[in-house]
Amino acid sequence: MLAAAPDDPVVAIRAYREALQAGDMPLATRAAAVLVKAGVAPADAALLPLADAARNGDTKAASAAIATLATGPLVVLAPSLYAWVAHAEGRDPEPPLAVAAKDPVANRFATETRALIAAAPPGQPLAIGVSRLLARLASDLAAGEPSPLSIALTQAALRTDPGYDRARILLADALARSKMVESALAVLDQVAPKSPFAAAAAAERVDILSNADREGEALAAAKNRVDHKDADSADWQRYADLLLTTGNPVEAANWYAKIIAADGEKGGSWGAWLQYGGALDQAGRWPEARDALEKAVARGPAQPLALNYLGFAQVEHGDDIPASIKLLERASRLDPTNASITDSLGWAYHLSGDTSRALPLLESATQAEPTNAEIADHLGDAYWSIGRRYEARYAWRAAVLTAEPAETARITAKIAGGLPANARR
């Protein structure tokens, strides 16, 4: 593309971005040169000469590239980059630039860099400091919307230090979030099995596949990881979560139990017991599930999620509704704006026969989460029970729009025929 129109900045900017995505650094460099010559180079184009200079240990060229970066939005990196140049030259880091004092991000990076330099051996290669700093900013950006800058930073980090697999994982994440899943997986393939980042790369692969709705491949990748000799509880957690979301709660429960057992004398956190109990409940093993959920509440008596799950599950199974209401009232006091908890409490009031008390809660929950099928379904049942048939059908019609396929037929039947006499729901 660039060869066909080497002096066309419009072609060059597209070639530059596509080259970075593909890891074609020679093309990216050629395209960047065209953009620089035309005076329209993006701010991150200066990362390429910086990467080359740092890799070669050329502090003079690195300083020139930093000066260019300092004229644009990446100025936040300049104080830290200059500090690494000073360290590479055997000098004390220079005093922070004015930008570091004024900009909280630049100041944070500069503070971190000073600590890293203090712990670094004398003469540490410039490439190490620069690559870690670029990856550090890319890691911060990973929490936001995908952007070309994330890809540019991670590619520059790898150009600086080709062996830095942490940057490779960040690059894969940036590509995947930009909908380039196959490219992301190909980048992860470059992480060697004996790399210190091999486990992190395996976890990233599972997450990328799962987020791409390739659940079968994600499950296989997660299973491959838990079978590895150095698998740990984080790997077991990831596999169990996938088993649960792909409809295998029985096997998921086994792995959640393994996580609890691995906690030794601590006996498992409230969250671990909550997940274990939830899996058992979905597996149809309610007595065991109730015991596990009670342990979750015992370990987290002020945790609204644990209180809500146990209270709502007991209501659904017809167990001790008065006691369940007390659990749900505690949960609601702890988290009064949580629509799911508000719905649970309203539903429990309704099933206990106090629909007048239930309705304001169910209506409030529906307003807070209008696309939640379960909440709308509950509201419809409550309306029907007091003779508000039109409003009940309206709520059920809203519910059926977002209901899971397994629930659609049941809700549709209520729209057509209402609730049978003496029905719980």
Tens-level pLDDT at each residue, the chain (425 residues): 455 446 788 899 999 999 999 999 999 999 999 999 999 999 999 999 999 999 999 999 999 999 999 999 999 999 999 999 999 999 887 665 555 557 888 888 988 998 999 898 888 899 999 999 999 999 999 888 888 999 999 999 999 999 999 999 999 999 999 999 999 999 999 999 999 999 999 999 999 999 999 999 999 999 999 999 889 999 999 999 999 999 999 999 999 999 999 998 889 999 999 999 999 999 999 999 999 999 999 999 999 999 999 999 999 999 999 999 999 999 999 999 999 999 999 999 999 999 999 999 999 999 999 999 999 999 999 999 999 999 999 999 999 999 999 899 999 999 999 998 766 55
Give the count of alpha carbons within 13 A of 33, CB side only.
9
Question: Residue 101's pLDDT is what?
Answer: 54
Report how far residue 85's alpha carbon sits from residue 69's, in angstroms, rounded to the nearest whole number.
14
Report yes or no: 51 and 159 within 8 Å, Cβ to Cβ.
yes
Q: What is the dihedral of CA 29, 35, 40, 43, to 10 degrees?
A: 0
Tell me the one-letter amino acid at 8.
Answer: D
From residue 112, how far is each of 17, 46, 88, 127, 132 by CA, in Å?
30, 23, 17, 17, 11
Residue given tokens 């990831």 in the structure block: 238
Provide the CATH number for the domain formed by 42-190 in this structure: 1.25.40
Question: Residue 97's pLDDT is what?
Answer: 56
Report how far residue 56's alpha carbon sits from residue 379's, in angstroms, rounded to the nearest whole number.
67
Q: Is residue 337 helix, strand or coil?
A: coil
Question: Residue 7's pLDDT is what?
Answer: 75
Report how far residue 147's alpha carbon sits from residue 141's, in angstroms, rounded to the nearest whole number.
8
User: Where do the structural domains in the chain lie, given as residue ranges?
Assistant: 42-190
Per DSSP, 228 falls in state S
Report yes or no: 149 and 44 within 8 Å, Cβ to Cβ.
yes
Q: Who contacts 344 (Cβ-Cβ below 8 Å, separation ≥6)?
A: 308, 311, 312, 315, 328, 331
Q: Is residue 297 helix, strand or coil?
A: helix
